[in-house]
Amino acid sequence: MSGVWVFKNGVVRLENPGAEACSNSNTRRKVLVHVPTNEVMTSYAVLERKLSSLGWERYYDDPELLQFHKRSTVHLISLPKDFNKFKSMHMYDIVVKNRNVFEVRDV
């Protein structure tokens, strides 16, 4: 993963300005899978139910982001409001913060 880490409004994001130029029709689409049920996360509603069952709570501070926090940790998951902008970097963030529960797969 290449790009530039940008800190803005208390959130660190990886921005990759060259990603669009590098992508082509051979690039595989990624999906986030809930491993215990083998269910693909097809919407934020489905993902939010899974995260809630794991102890994640929704934050409503930023209207442009969906944010989740787990009280027992310092982790914060920040996702774009539009599910169409949900990219593999967001998926891997969820995987790292929920080991053995989610995984990213190629479609």
SS3 content of the chain, % helix, strand, coil (to 5): 25, 35, 40
pLDDT tens by residue, the chain, 107 residues: 567 777 777 777 777 765 554 545 556 789 999 999 999 999 999 999 999 999 999 999 888 899 999 988 899 999 999 999 999 999 999 999 998 999 999 98
Determine the CATH number of domain 30-106.
Answer: 3.30.920.30
For the whole model, what pTM was predicted?
A: 0.74
Contact 67, 59 (CB under 8 A): yes
Pairing of strands 56-59, 39-40: unpaired
